[in-house]
Amino acid sequence: MDLGIAGKWAIVCAGSRGLGRGCAEALAEEGVSLVLNARSPGPLEEAAAAIRARGVEVRTVACDITTDAGRAAVVAACPEPDILITNAGGPPPGMWSDWGRAEWQAAIEANMLTPILLMTALLPGMCERGWGRVVNITSQSVRAPIPQLGLSNAARAGLTGFVAGTARQVAARGVIINNLLPGIHATDRADALDRPLAEREGITLEEARARRAATIPAGRYGTAGEFGRVCAFLCSQHVGFIVGQNILIDGGATNLTL
């Protein structure tokens, strides 16, 4: 299927590794040029070089996307993108009683306000030009809470509420916003959550992975590649009637009928 987006420009936030990288690779495969962001310049430049080999242009902006200055730098590198993929690192696990104002502020900045403020900056131009696609990488925790990820459950719920209303306000202008909800994928983030489990239970990292994989009906972790391709489809010409949805990619892990 031709996604019909060759020649377009996308901003991909937090895209040097993991799910963001998967989205960047899949968009590049479709002929989309990129502004790629992450904090560490080395891995960012390595990712950009690998993606350029697919024949698209890639500009890099090494900065913390959760700051005003970081978002301004990314927007300045591509003030009129056709596509926006929002993403940032996930908050740490813990107990509700562990977290005070500073931890809440950080989670809300990263996983709620950062995507909201990027959309606020870029939606007006997309509406004026009559075409745009936004995909926010959120989490399965939006559909069913993960108790030890309370910061994520709460901050991402705020973003989900914003998207639910806003997506319906811009759809008639040709601007389509949806959220992608990853379940467990084989990335550094999954390792960061598996490691404490391994330490707590006195088992190896491989055993911890196997235990978590056994809780997923598909029997395995997802891959950044398959996640990226679904993201690219949600950025395509074919999704003009998919508005404000929350699409789970979790191997069936979230036990829901609807």
- Binding stretches for ligand NAP (CB under 6 A): 14-20, 37-40, 43, 64-66, 87-90, 137, 139-140, 182, 184-185, 187-190
Closest contact distance (angstroms) between CB of 180 and ligand NAP is 9
Nearer to ligand NAP, 13 or 56 (CB): 13
Q: Per this entry, what is the length of the chain?
A: 258
User: What's the rounded Cα separation, in Å, for the pair 174 and 196?
Assistant: 44
Helix (H) / strand (E) element for 177: namely strand 175-182
Closest contact distance (angstroms) between CB of 67 and ligand NAP is 8
Nearer to ligand NAP, 170 or 249 (CB): 249
Structure tokens belonging to residue 223: 């891959």
Tokens 């892990």 -> residue: 253
3-state secondary structure of 85: strand
Closest contact distance (angstroms) between CB of 7 and ligand NAP is 25
Closest contact distance (angstroms) between CB of 215 and ligand NAP is 13
Nearer to ligand NAP, 132 or 182 (CB): 182
What letter does residue 250 receive in the DSSP assignment?
A: S
What residue spans of the chain are helical by DSSP H? 18-29, 41-52, 68-77, 101-108, 114-129, 150-170, 188-201, 205-213, 224-234
Tell me the pairing of strands 9-12 and 33-38. parallel
User: What's the rounded Cα separation, in Å, for the pair 211 and 75?
Assistant: 41
What letter does residue 91 receive in the DSSP assignment?
A: P
- The residue of the chain with the least Cβ separation from ligand NAP equals 90
Nearer to ligand NAP, 32 or 88 (CB): 88
Closest contact distance (angstroms) between CB of 109 and ligand NAP is 9
Nearer to ligand NAP, 40 or 204 (CB): 40
Nearer to ligand NAP, 16 or 236 (CB): 16
Of the CA atoms within 13 Å of residue 233, those in its CB half-sphere come to: 11
